[in-house]
Amino acid sequence: MKLIAGNSNLSLSQSIADAIGIPLTNSTIKRFSDNEIFVEINENIRGEDAFVIQSTSFPANDNLMELLVIIDALRRSSAKRITAVIPYYGYARQDRKTSARSPISAKLVANLITCAGANRVLAMDLHAGQIQGFFDIPTDNLMCSPVFIPDMEEYQGKGEDVCIVSPDVGGVVRARAYAKRLGASLAIIDKRREQANVSEVVNVIGDIKGKKCVMVDDIIDTAGTLCNAAAALMEKGAAEVHAYVVHGVLSGPAVERIDNSVMSSLVVSNTIAATDIVKASPKIRQLSIAPLMGEAIKRIHEDRSISVLFN
């Protein structure tokens, strides 16, 4: 087995390598003066089971292109199998046509990864389940619940005093799964989104009065949705509001909004490398998915089932 790390999240790649117990493959990834990407694998790859670890987070286009070039380098080096390990799948929110002449970029990215030479994909909490069907190669979509639920039990508790909240109707299935595992009640935020990154809370569905509310979501970008939802929950009588979000994009004014919001805490995973401003925030904590990803990679390499990791 060979683990090749892209530059998007080197700390996560190293943590995954430590969890598996093998070193990262020696490789050279650099840019020419015109910013073209150059990749060279400095170890023998012929006949190896290769895993490329690369989130396509900001800068999304650079990190995506880097992933494609690494895959091509491995394919031309006669790797036996190439698995693209993508903790955060960029462009996932563009998974359908939202207007008459708009693209489905999530499908385009899937085509690019497949055509570059990947034989399978391992991702974490894809924005929409149908993205698995965009790939014509085997795709495993891990859930972050094995990482989040123990932390929720330790810091938030469980039972009827806790209410799991979906910040929109589309996240109800995810929120219901968390509520079932914790024995907690369920609430839903009914919102309207007039344009990208701008949302308005319309109503809160469910009994939240006097309860500790825990919002769960897959992506937090500018944090407008979650901060508005937290304010609405407090106005409806929630005792506290916390949030657990898998992918902490946290762009623009996100961290400032969170620090100034009524939310008591925000927990994100390390699918995206934390910036200095995120690390400095008193309200944001980051949990590692490295042991979970490492176990999935080992099971894929050994041709064992990873379905137990989905639960």
**DSSP code of 145?**
H
- What torsion do the CA atoms of 17, 18, 21, 24 make, to the nearest 10 degrees? 30
Q: Where are the alpha helices (DSSP H) in the chain?
A: 10-20, 60-76, 105-116, 145-155, 172-182, 224-235, 254-259, 276-280, 290-301
SS3 at position 106:
helix
180 a catalytic residue? no
How many whole angstroms separate alpha carbon 152 and alpha carbon 162? 10
Q: Specify whether the CB–CB gap between 176 and 187 falls below 8 A.
A: no
Tokens found for residue 233: 């929950």
Amino acid found at 115: C
Catalytic residue among 158, 191, 212, 236: 191
Catalytic positions, written as ranges: 191
